[in-house]
Amino acid sequence: MTDIAKLTPLVELIHKALESEHLAQAAMLFLRLHPADRADVFELLNEEDRGRILGHLDIATTADLFDELEDQQTVEAAEIISVERLADVLDEMDPDEAADLLGDLSPEKAERAIIEMEDADDVLPLLNYPDETAGGRMTTAFVSLNANITADQAIRYLRQLSPDSDIPYYLFVRDDNEKIVGVIGLRDLVVANPERAIREIMDTDIISISPYTDQEQAARMMTHYDLSVLPVLDEHNHLIGIITHDDILDVIEDEATEDIYRLASVADTDLQPESGTYVQLRGRLPWLLLNTLTALFASWVISIFGDLFVQVAILAFFQSVVAGQGGSAASQNVAMIVRALALGKIEKSRIMPVLIRQLWVGLLQGIVIGIIIGMGVGLWQHNPYLGLVLGLALIGNMLVAAAVGTLMPLLFQALGQDPAMTSSVLVTAATDSLGFFIFLSLAKIFLPMILQYLA
């Protein structure tokens, strides 16, 4: 792959060529690239350069570029060109990408572009489905065959279709009522006896999806069954679109980004390290503000034990150890459960065994860490009872961490929410408050013994 880092010098070259009005040279440099790299270079150009280069690309190249650009970038580029040109580009784009773009444009611009388009029929049905559903991901660029024609007739039919068109590698087979009854790979078509009917060589075991199913489910089906194409059928078993493996790669990457961001309390999953300041604050501050509330609640919990610190200031040194270890252990639990749910690896009947296993692991982790910290601090501060309190509090908070970290994502899932919303802010709210409470309660109980060793 052309590493994105290696594109920078090229961006400079193109920028200089454009600036000195060597438009042909700039276009040549640009066209020499793979379409996917063109999109990367385009995104690195400034707005003025983008406008100049767009003016020098033909319709087909512009369509390829628009197919590859990130959604927001496509919208911005579409604003630069005239509606007539945009309509031509939309006609050439992949139907699913064209539908996404139309959905992102202002309603007026989208309407005008649709009126100007020639092949709007491919695109319009796709506008009915939300972006993150199977219908929103599918394309109408599929080929279907009647079950009664022969392999040879099918191949001749494919030759008739323009060889430029992106015929998918799987062809769907319909009966006389237009219902989908089978699927045949181009491979099986090619190696079959030319005289045999399609219905004799097709695979009747079709794995399909409905248009309103979540894209994540589509991705999971395609991964699980190693499918390179997944047909989308309506309630009458009519084929309305297909999802291809490259769409699914994007879904899987998007879903992983979403999980990673949500677990780290970043609400806006489109956020990039260089995104605008306002966008970053909007996507990050809400969780920190929630964190503010939970942190102040934890402060209030500590304040209940306010007198303790006057008598035993060293408690203030170690209260965060208990809370912190609980938070780390809970994050481990959340990550494992969220990932297992995302990959479909937890079944409902296994929730109790999972919880019991996690509580047991939490108990053992608590015992190990509790003994180490308890003994370490006991010796350091010459105060065995302080060590005992710390050790017991760690065991208690590790159990809290295991319970909260396991149950919270499962609860979110049961409520129909994304389990990754169980972000660090929410679990640490529990492990902090309860961690402080357990530690300081135990300290209060053992206060006379702790005081005895202070002197």
Residues 381-420 that bind a second copy (CB under 8 A): 406
Interface region with a second copy, contact rule CB under 8 A, candidates 13-21, 73-81, 106-114, 353-361: 353-361
Tell whether residue 202 is a contact of a second copy (CB under 8 A): no
In the complex with a second copy, the residue whose CB is nearer, 117 or 392, is: 392
Q: Which of 30, 42, 129, 287 binds a second copy (CB under 8 A)?
A: 287
In the complex with a second copy, the residue whose CB is nearer, 88 or 259, is: 259
Tell whether residue 277 is a contact of a second copy (CB under 8 A): yes
Of 125, 127, 126, 162, nearest to 143 by C-alpha is 162
Which residues is 191 bridged to in the sheet?
A: none
Tell whether residue 295 is a contact of a second copy (CB under 8 A): yes
Tell whether residue 444 is a contact of a second copy (CB under 8 A): no
Length of the chain: 455
Tell whether residue 158 is a contact of a second copy (CB under 8 A): yes
Q: Based on the number of CB atoms within 10 Å of its own CB, is 278 exposed (0-12), middle (13-18) or buried (19 or more)?
A: exposed
Interface region with a second copy, contact rule CB under 8 A, candidates 75-83, 128-136, 352-360, 447-455: 352-360
Cβ at position 419, least distance to a second copy in Å? 12
Tell whether residue 309 is a contact of a second copy (CB under 8 A): yes
In the complex with a second copy, the residue whose CB is nearer, 7 or 117, is: 7
Cβ at position 303, least distance to a second copy in Å? 5
In the complex with a second copy, the residue whose CB is nearer, 8 or 128, is: 8
Interface region with a second copy, contact rule CB under 8 A, candidates 14-22, 52-60, 119-127, 423-431: 423-431
Tell whether residue 431 is a contact of a second copy (CB under 8 A): no
Site residue total, a second copy (CB under 8 A):
128
SS3 string, the chain, reads CCCHHHHHHHHHHHHHHHHCCCHHHHHHHHHCCCHHHHHHHHHHCCHHHHHHHHCCCCHHHHHHHHHHCCHHHHHHHHHHCCHHHHHHHHHHCCHHHHHHHHHHCCHHHHHHHHHHCCCHHHHHHHHHCCCCEHHHHCECCCCEEECCCEHHHHHHHHHHCCCCCCCCCEEEEECCCCCEEEEEEHHHHHHCCCCCEHHHHCECCCCCECCCCEHHHHHHHHHHCCCCEEEEECCCCCEEEEEEHHHHHHHHHHHHHHHHHHHCCCCCCCCCCCCCHHHHHHHHHHHHHHHHHHHHHHHHHHHHCHHHHHHCCCHHHHHHHHHHHHHHHHHHHHHHHHHHHHCCCCCHHHHHHHHHHHHHHHHHHHHHHHHHHHHHHHHHCCCHHHHHHHHHHHHHHHHHHHHHHHHHHHHHHHCCCCHHHCCHHHHHHHHHHHHHHHHHHHHHHCHHHHHHHCC
Tell whether residue 379 is a contact of a second copy (CB under 8 A): no
Tell whether residue 292 is a contact of a second copy (CB under 8 A): yes
Tell whether residue 93 is a contact of a second copy (CB under 8 A): no
Interface region with a second copy, contact rule CB under 8 A, candidates 19-27, 55-63, 114-122, 283-291: 283-291
Tell whether residue 426 is a contact of a second copy (CB under 8 A): no
Q: Which of 16, 179, 236, 357 binds a second copy (CB under 8 A)?
A: 357
Helices 71-80 + 59-68 axis angle, to 10: 150
Which position has the token pair 């972000």?
A: 423
Tell whether residue 315 is a contact of a second copy (CB under 8 A): yes
Interface region with a second copy, contact rule CB under 8 A, candidates 55-63, 112-120, 268-276, 443-451: 268-276
Interface region with a second copy, contact rule CB under 8 A, candidates 57-65, 74-82, 114-122, 364-372: 364-372
Q: Which of 60, 115, 249, 379 binds a second copy (CB under 8 A)?
A: 249
Interface region with a second copy, contact rule CB under 8 A, candidates 53-61, 74-82, 132-140, 181-189: 181-189
32 Rama class: left (phi>0) / alpha (psi -120 to 50) / beta? alpha
Q: Which of 108, 176, 195, 273 binds a second copy (CB under 8 A)?
A: 273
In the complex with a second copy, the residue whose CB is nearer, 87 or 369, is: 369
Residues 33 to 92 in contact with a second copy, rule: CB under 8 A: 34, 36
Interface region with a second copy, contact rule CB under 8 A, candidates 82-90, 111-119, 130-138, 224-232: 224-232
In the complex with a second copy, the residue whose CB is nearer, 340 or 447, is: 340
Distance CA 3, CA 9 (A): 12
- What mask of x and - would describe binding to a second copy in positions 316 to 335, judged by CB under 8 A? xxxxxx-xxx--xx-xxxxx
